Amino acid sequence: MIGRLNHVAIAVRDLSKASAVYRETLGATVSAPIAQPDHGVTVVFVELPNTKIELLEPLGEGSPIAKFLEKNVDGGMHHVCYEVDDIIAARDRLKQGGARVLGDGNPRIGAHGKPVLFLHPKDFAGTLVELEQV
C-alpha cells in the first residue's frame, strides 16, 4: 500500500542552527526557510538524492510541534511521510484494521499542497506516520 518515502521531518528549536548542521557539517543542499502559518511551523527542506528531510521550527501559538519539543529538548525525529496513490482507500483499509487516524479522520491539505493524514504513533511502532497522496 505505501510507496516511496516522501520525507522525514525533524523538529528543531533553532532552524538556522539546524540548517547550518545540514548545509555545512553534512554538506547537503538546504532551502531558505519557508513560514507555513497554517501549519504552525517554519520549514527548511534538505534535498537528498532519494528523499527530503524537513526541519521544522515552531511558528506562532499552539504549534503542533511545541509539545514534542517540550519532551524532546534537543529536537528529534517527528514523523515519516509515505506516499500513497489513494489516501481515502488507504485510510479505510487502515481503519478497518484498527489503526487510529488523527484529527477528524478526513485528509487535509498538507505542506506540499496535497492531501495528507496522520496515523497514531502507538499503532505504528512508536512513530508518527504521515500519508500523502501523490
Q: Which positions are annotated as active-site residues? A: 130
User: Could you give the count of Cα atoms lying within 13 Å of 127 in the half-sphere of its Cβ?
Assistant: 14
Out of 56, 81, 101, 117, the residue judged to bind Co ion by CB under 5 A? 81
**Residues of this chain, 112-131, that bind Co ion according to CB under 5 A:** 130
53 lies in the site for Co ion, by CB under 5 A: no
Q: How far is the CB of 122 from Co ion (least distance, A)?
A: 19
57 lies in the site for Co ion, by CB under 5 A: no
The type of residue at 102 is: L
Cβ neighbours of residue 130 under 8 Å, at least 6 residues apart? 6, 9, 79, 80, 81, 82, 110, 116, 117, 118, 119
Q: How far is the CB of 17 from Co ion (least distance, A)?
A: 21
Site stretch for Co ion (CB under 5 A), options 19-27, 74-82, 87-95, 98-106: 74-82
Nearest to 122 by CA among 106, 107, 100, 104: 100
- Is residue 130 within 8 A of residue 110, CB to CB? The reply is yes
Closer Cβ to Co ion, 57 or 130, answer by number:
130
Task: List residues binding Co ion (CB under 5 A).
Answer: 9, 81, 130
